[in-house]
Structure 1
Amino acid sequence: MIYDAFFGKPLISLITVGFAGIVVWHLLSRQRPTTRLVVQILFFGVMTLILVGSGIEPHRFQGYGSEDPQALLIIVAKTLWWIHLAWAVIGFIRLYLVLEGSPREARLLQDLVIGVVYIGMALSVLAFVFGVPIGTLVATSGVVAIILGLALQNTLADVFSGIALTLGRPYIIGDWILLSDGTEGRVVESNWRATHILTSANNIVVLPNSFLAKLGLTNVSRPDETHLLILTIRIAPTRMPASVRQVMATALASCNSIVREPPPVVALKGLDATALEVELQFRVTSPSQRVPARNEVLDLVYRHCKAAGLLLAIPPSATVLTADLPTEESAKPPSVTPLALIEAIPVFTTLTSDEKRRLAETTTVREFRKGDVIVREDEMLPSLMMVRAGIIAARNAGEERGRLAPGDFFGESGLLAGMQEVCTLEALTPVTAYEIDQEAFAPLLSERPALAEEIADHLASRAERFRNGAPLPPEHARNAHAILKTIRTIFKA
């Protein structure tokens, strides 16, 4: 029964199977290439069996007269067979590229191979279905190809340059590249004609592949995306170079925006009567982090220099008398007083000058040795600590979340709202801190009841901006009203 159905009228059966295969091909999802390939091979196998069983040879041209009633059926059947053969080969190509995990740039090579398959299928249909002499056709098309090549010279140069860039793989989608003409950005798309680069100014630069192939190219993302930055700092020669180098190394060690491995380098570049020139070399995780890291390093260098009593040197272009230059004996280093730190703390910005001065007078000095744990996670610190000198590491769940440097502060959540600390704080170097306890702060709240509301708003907003998006403990996930109630309870305001 099945044999008679397929081989009784082989041409009609083959055409039916061929069109059914086309419908199924389009219905199957492109996200399932293996299923599409298996189904395509099954349809192609059935069509081949029908042709072999009926004595039709699709790879040979069998002449037929124009009056032959089956001529049209033979043409359609053999054309469908060649189409399904091409689709089966294309299915193998696409499946191979998917299984090999090839990058998106491989689409150019894939399209090229698929184009060759389709051209081969078209020539086979012309030769074995319609009997067109391919040799004569190719000779004629050569003249046409020359004309088209001259007309499309620039476009073809882009296409072949794109193929060369794809095979050479100097970059892939997502890489950050720097061109010799100064263009810099991340590769977001690469097609037949051009490469699209997203610059740091959030603009898309479209470069023709032929132009890109001629430029010198630096791939910043290889072997990894860490990027080296170099900053030159000039310090007044009022301390021994070894001491200055140690202060600069401490400033880099307290930075949260740079890569710790490989460690940053401090190089002394030159020394004269006006300045000790220091070069800071450090890496960032990606080129997009260059500006934030540079800003933080400069800020920390200033803070550590102020804490260590170092002076910044005058610019090289400035005119100054030698007698006016600071020396180790005559230098007057800037002092970091408790009042200066209090004025830098956001939670105290609403206090008047007299209130800040009275608060500064109540501060005490605390000293911590390297390795001392100042406060542990989930413990409450009932005093405000302002870092005068040194580095403190903040760790949450055993993972380092950041570092505190001179000018930073901690403990305000315990002092003002009775909340536990989110991180364990450990001294990485000898640390000097100024401390303000609850007894010193209580008179301010009794004199200014509205101050408690301002502090509650500040602490609530700070809790929402908890570093790195880490989950907040229940005692920190409170609104300003709850924090205000706690503050008034603690100080009995």
Structure 2
Amino acid sequence: MEAGLDTIVHIAGDPISQFVTLVLLLVLARIIVQGKATDRFLVHIGFFVLLTILLVGHDVAPWTTVIDDEDLPHRMFIGIAKATWWAGGAMVIASSVRVYLIIERKPREGRLLQDLLVAIIYIGAALSIIAFVFDLPVRTLIATSGVFAIVLGLALQSTLNDVFSGIALNLGRPYSVGDWIEVEGGVRGQVVETNWRSTHLLNDANDLVIVPNSALAKATLTNLTGGDAIHGSKVVIRALPSKSPALIEETMRTVLLSANSILKSPPPSVSITALDGSAVEVELSFKVSSLGQTGVAKNEIFDLVYRHTKAAGIQLSLAANASAVMNPDPGSKHPGTPWRLLTSIPLFSTLTEDEMEALANSMERLAFKKGVVIAPQDASMTSLMIVRSGVVTIERVSDHGREELTRLAPGDLFGERGVLMGAPEPATMRALTFVVVYEISKEHLASVMHQRPSLAEELSQLLAKRVETEEHLKIDGRSAVEDHPVSLAARIRHLFGVQQRSIP
């Protein structure tokens, strides 16, 4: 019994057994903390400290080349332990690099620099093992390896060019993962990954574009994301010089004022960039909340330009190198403003010419100064209003203050809730600029609807679309979009006494 106990004590006190136990504990701890950089860093520190205590406690100095033990197994153990000590120190430093970059909260952005530092650390540890364990002349080895490195560098010149370009890009940080960049030559996309050799971009078509780092380092880059998500854009409009540049500029400012998809702050701007006998060229600059909103904003701007220029009597010019004949305006037969308004609204496109003529003759012109309330909140309107010119803002006053819902431009309708359903307006209609509207009374609309019952379905679609933008509001204790377009059409037909015609 005592002999067995002595054997256990001897094994426990043997440095080789202690070393093997310590290495096994390291492997087990790394398995347990896999994927946790901070915990792995602490495990490496603990292993390195315990290994240092073990070696120093047995009179082994890892930082020297002296080995006094004559026993071959112990000489091999000392060599392996010293090499492990240098590797353990390298693991501690490498883990600290990993932890620092994660604390910086940009681990993917610093991946190249992180890998470079870790490689340098392990190369230094390998040279230290060669010098202090194998007692070889490091200078001679470095000189020999330098010749080999030159030959290898010439063979891998293109690859190394990409690698070092990637390092330079990572240090300079002209872009980060998640940024939208545009490369000289028309390549544009969002950065999804950067590695040693290339940068991966996801373009507008959701295709993955792989650009070599050497090409990025030499090309002109435009970081479309900038310091935040806000993105600037512009639209260039050419108008015939039949109106004064000041009037054209003011009309374009009204266009930007009526746009809902652009940011109001910082404010958009309008500048005249060119003037000649064929056109006045105007540049509309604006900002959107993100790069993905650029296309939506431009589509809205183009639509508003068409509507506002038509309302102001401004004609758009052809391109500088184009030559074509302008088609006559389909409303030229009926030059009256009410007729032109009705023909520009898809809602009334199914009316016959006689029905359109009768409805246009019944419309009345109303003008409102800037800031005047056209219809207060909770009022029930008895007429359908069509914006002729200017901008109307729809805003709601609640316990949280005044909230703007949307803005209306020439050709937009309002008042349909009161006319079609007899319901109060959920928001205030206010003139943001000088506004001219044309009014269609409920009685005249009813006479047209009796002749054209399908107009009820089209009006119900308009009303459903309008209340959809107000879904966050509560009217009479229920959601504003509770009614389906089909039920809305039924209510409109009932209110106007219109029978639904069956399709044969």
TM-score bin (small chain): 0.7 to 0.9
Change (3 A) 1:229 1:333: farther
* 2:177 matches 1:210: no
Of 220, 233, 239, the residue aligned with 1:234 is 239
SS in 1 for 2:72: coil
* 2:338 matches 1:338: yes
Structure 1 counterpart of 2:481:
476
Give the superposition deviation at 1:182. Answer: 3.4
Structure 2 counterpart of 1:170:
174
CA RMSD for the aligned pairs? Answer: 3.5
User: 1 CA distance for matches of 2:432 and 2:453?
Assistant: 39
% identical equivalent positions: 41
Deviates more, 1:374-383 or 1:141-150: 374-383
* 2:444 matches 1:436: no
Change (3 A) 1:27 1:359: farther
Q: Which amino acid counterpart does residue 195 of structure 1 have in structure 2?
A: T
Q: Is the 8 A contact 1:176 1:219 kept in 2?
A: yes
User: 2 CA distance for matches of 1:25 and 1:387?
Assistant: 71
Q: Is the 8 A contact 2:249 2:270 kept in 1?
A: no
Of 18, 41, 46, the residue aligned with 1:42 is 46
* TM-score in terms of structure 1 length: 0.83
Q: Is the 8 A contact 1:310 1:333 kept in 2?
A: no
Deviates more, 1:115-124 or 1:253-262: 253-262
Structure 2 counterpart of 1:198:
202
1:312-327 residue pairs with structure 2 within 5 A? Answer: 312-313=316-317
Deviates more, 1:472-481 or 1:15-24: 472-481
Of 289, 292, 301, the residue aligned with 1:297 is 301
Give the superposition deviation at 1:194. Answer: 1.1
SS in 1 for 2:395: strand
User: 2 CA distance for matches of 1:276 and 1:451?
Assistant: 41
Q: Is the 8 A contact 1:345 1:409 kept in 2?
A: no
Give the superposition deviation at 1:212. Answer: 1.8
* 2:163 matches 1:189: no
* TM-score in terms of structure 2 length: 0.81
Q: Is the 8 A contact 2:351 2:452 kept in 1?
A: no
Q: Which amino acid counterpart does residue 115 of structure 1 have in structure 2?
A: A
Q: Is the 8 A contact 1:389 1:406 kept in 2?
A: yes
Structure 1 counterpart of 2:58:
54
1:141-156 residue pairs with structure 2 within 5 A? Answer: 141-156=145-160
User: 2 CA distance for matches of 1:153 and 1:99?
Assistant: 35
Give the superposition deviation at 1:347. Answer: 4.2
Q: Is the 8 A contact 1:419 1:475 kept in 2?
A: no
User: 1 CA distance for matches of 2:393 and 2:191?
Assistant: 37
* 2:85 matches 1:85: no
Give the superposition deviation at 1:161. Answer: 0.9
Structure 2 counterpart of 1:323:
none
Once the two structures are superposed, what CA deviation does each residue of 1:82-141 show, in whole Å capped at 9, x if it has no partner?
Answer: 333222212211222222344633111011001111222233334434444433432332
Q: Is the 8 A contact 2:383 2:440 kept in 1?
A: yes
Structure 1 counterpart of 2:409:
405
User: 2 CA distance for matches of 1:155 and 1:219?
Assistant: 25
Change (3 A) 1:300 1:62: same
Of 253, 273, 277, the residue aligned with 2:257 is 253
Q: Is the 8 A contact 1:417 1:487 kept in 2?
A: yes
User: 1 CA distance for matches of 2:141 and 2:452?
Assistant: 97
Structure 1 counterpart of 2:495:
490
Q: Is the 8 A contact 1:420 1:475 kept in 2?
A: no
Change (3 A) 1:480 1:289: closer
Give the superposition deviation at 1:447. Answer: 5.1
Deviates more, 1:215-224 or 1:148-157: 215-224
Once the two structures are superposed, what CA deviation does each residue of 1:350-396 show, in whole Å capped at 9, x if it has no partner?
Answer: 54444444433332222222112233555544432110111112335
Change (3 A) 1:459 1:255: closer
User: 2 CA distance for matches of 1:386 and 1:145?
Assistant: 78
Give the superposition deviation at 1:21. Answer: 2.0
Q: Which amino acid counterpart does residue 98 of structure 2 have in structure 1?
A: R
Give the superposition deviation at 1:276. Answer: 4.9
Give the superposition deviation at 1:478. Answer: 2.5
User: 1 CA distance for matches of 2:465 and 2:239?
Assistant: 38
Change (3 A) 1:319 1:276: closer
